[in-house]
Every structure is written in structure tokens, then in C-alpha cells.
Amino acid sequence: MSTSRDIPEPLGSLQPIFIVGTMRSGSTLLRLILDSHEDIAIGEETGFMGALAANKVIPNWRYGKEWYGRLGWSEKEFDARLGEFYTGLFSRYAADQGKRRWGDKTPLHSWHMGEMARIFPDAVFLAIVRHPGAVVSSLKKRFHYEAQEAADYWQSTNIEILRHGVELGDSRFALVRYEDVLGDTETTLREITSWLGEPWSQNLLRHHEVQGAKGAPRMVDGNTSTRDPIMRERADRWTSALDQADQDVTRMATSGLAEFLGYDPSGATAPRDILPSSAAGNRRVLTGGRLTQLVQGPGAPPMEPPRQEIVAAEMSKADLVARVRQAEASLARIRARPVVRFSDNVRRLQRRMPRPDGAALLNGIRRRLGSPGVRR
């Protein structure tokens, strides 16, 4: 019997929308705006790629990486089945919202774009970037990170996003700046909907009203209020929060990429246009093909795969304490193992006895372990 919660048939023309970007880049605001469109459903972040990766690898087992091969499945076949499974989950969510097209917004997925593009071959990726000073300031306040760590995270994550943007091309990748969403809102959002192949909706300009009317939680990912309208002044609030030393650190770590993206690394002046106004009618949306041209020009940052800079995802204090205690208990169990105790005792005796003979060393170890000694 069919019910309203049956998984809908996949609609090949309705490409999934994956919003990526660093944490504190404005990705939640962008999600709320697009989720207010009559045809698009993008709920709170899921981090589902972590679950998908766990489907593919069984930890602590020598055969865990390709376990499905024992059942005659190739990786390509298994990826296709995983894509169908997760598409079904998100499609049902969209159908429950009365919408046709689904998407996801999870900042950590910025490091899974290659895998996502392969498993969801019809998906499109909408990236959002924000001034590095603003991201560093917000990460310091929210997660208590040092400026250097936060700046390195901004740099490496955005290089990773741009690198995949070049690979994905015009039809599957687009980049917008947070400052343009706030400062030139309708122009930017019209370009986004055009690139997505969706009709324009005035709901995008009043997302706070739409989210309130449908009963969305008042506070969502990143402590973002769903009831606040788009406010231009949010773009440069960070300038009073970073001291000069942190601003200098941020500038040193990010200046090349920041300038490439149109930012003044030293302050909150309005970002310059990356695209000329004649570029296919777009002024605010940088697509993958145009990005490819820019990265081949002068002043472009290197596109080598960066080292991933991990910034802790949001976690409650209780969860953090529980994880620390779990790690301490695991370490205690490891240290209690006989082989580890034996190795520790060997190292201690070696430090105390520069040149022990074999019997003396063994007797010393046995005494520590409570065993009978060895006769000479």
C-alpha cells in the first residue's frame, strides 16, 4: 500500500545540491535561503558522508576495506547502491516538505567533494566563501581556536574546494561570497537560482518569514537564528573582534588566496568583483569553467592538494568530556597489557643500566613483573 512517506521515484533532472564551505562561512544562512524556495529542501546538516564512508570500510579488520568484494560487488557497483540508498533518504525528506529537489549542507563535506561527485554523478556543488578575518574571528569565539590554526583551516579548505571546482566545471560547481549574499542580495540569489535551473522566488528574500511559518527551530547549525533577516552589517562585524596580532597572523597565512578571491586581507573593505560584468551576465557567481581560466592566470594560488586542517565540529561539553574519558580509559587498558608493561620496563632498565648483561637485564625485568629470577 502506498503511503505519503513512501520513497519517491528518483527524478534524474532534479540534481542534488551540496552546499560546501568552511565552518563560519555563512553556509547555514545560504541553506536557509535556498530551503525557502518552493522546490528545494535542504535540512539541517547531516554529515552523512561519514556514515557513507563507514559503510565502505569495516575498522580493525584486515579485510574490512573491500568486504563487499567477498559478495561479488565491485566498488563502482557498491558506490551506485550507496548513492541510491542515501538519495532515497533525502528524497523522502524533500517529499515530506512538499518539495521536489533535495540537498545537504555540511562544512566537513568540503573534504569529500571528489567522493560525492563520483557517488552522486548528477549532483551540483554550491560553495560559499567568507573573508578569512571573519572566519578566524568566529572560530576563535565559537571553538576557542588560535588564530594560526583557524587561518590555516580557512586556507587549506578553500584551496580544496577550488581544486575540485576546477575539476567539476561550469555545470556542476559554483562559488559565491558571503559578502555578496549580504550586500548585493537579489543579484546574487538570482544568479544562483539561474545556475541551479530553478525559477526565481521572492521567498528567497524573506527566508526568515518562510522558516518561521513552517515551524523551523529558532536556532540551528552554528547557533544561527532562522528568524533573522539578511543584514548587510553582519559582513564586517569581525573587525572589532580580532586584535592586531591575530589580524597579522591571518594576513600572513591567507593573503594570496584572499586577494585571488577579491578580498583585502588587511581589512573589511568591500570585496572587489572577481568577474567582469560582461561574463555571461554573471557578476557574483563564479562557476567552475570561469574558475579554471582564473587559476591559470597571474596571481592565482597553487592548486596542489592541501593538508587537511581539522577544526573540531560542534560538540557539547558533555560529549567532549565523555570522549576524553573514553580515550583515557582506552589508553589505560593499553598500558596495562603485559607486552606494553614489558616494553616499558625494558626501556626503564636500559636508562638505568648503560651496559647491562643479558641475565641482569632479564632479572631486573622479572623482578618488576614479580617472576623468579634467572641464575647465572
Instruction: Kindly write down the DSSP assignment for every residue of 140-201, as one continuous string.
Output: HHHH---HHHHHHHHHHHHHHHHHHHHHH-TTTEEEEEHHHHHHSHHHHHHHHHHHHT----
Three-state DSSP state, 212: helix
Global pTM exceeds 0.85: no
Rg (C-alpha) for the chain, rounded Å, is: 26
Q: Kindly report, residue by residue over 29-78, the tens digit of the pLDDT.
A: 999 999 999 999 999 999 999 999 999 999 888 889 889 999 999 999 99
State the Cα angle at 88 between 83 and 89, rounded to 5°. Answer: 105
Cell of 26: 555563512
If phi > 0 it is left, if psi is from -120 to 50 it is alpha, else beta; for residue 215 that is left
Residue 1, pLDDT score: 37
Beta strands 17-20 and 124-129 are: parallel
Contact criterion met (CB below 8 Å) for 162 and 293: no
Antiparallel, parallel or unpaired: β 173-177 and 124-129: parallel
What is the share, in percent, of the chain residues with pLDDT greater than 90? 61
Greater pLDDT, 117 or 351: 117
Sole residue written with cell 587498558: 333
Q: Where along the chain do its domains lie?
A: 17-312, 320-369
pLDDT digits over 208-242, tens only? Answer: 999 999 999 998 987 898 999 999 888 888 877 88
- The contacts of residue 344 (CB under 8 Å, 6+ apart) are 335
- The mean pLDDT of 256-269, rounded to a whole number, is 88
Q: What is the pLDDT of residue 316?
A: 60
What is the distance, to the nearest Å, from the Cα of residue 366 to the centroid of all Cα atoms in its chain? Answer: 52
Cell of 51: 556514515
- Per DSSP, helices labelled H in the chain are 27-35, 48-56, 75-96, 113-119, 132-143, 147-168, 178-183, 185-196, 207-213, 244-260, 288-295, 317-336, 338-352, 358-369
The class level of CATH for 17-312 reads alpha beta
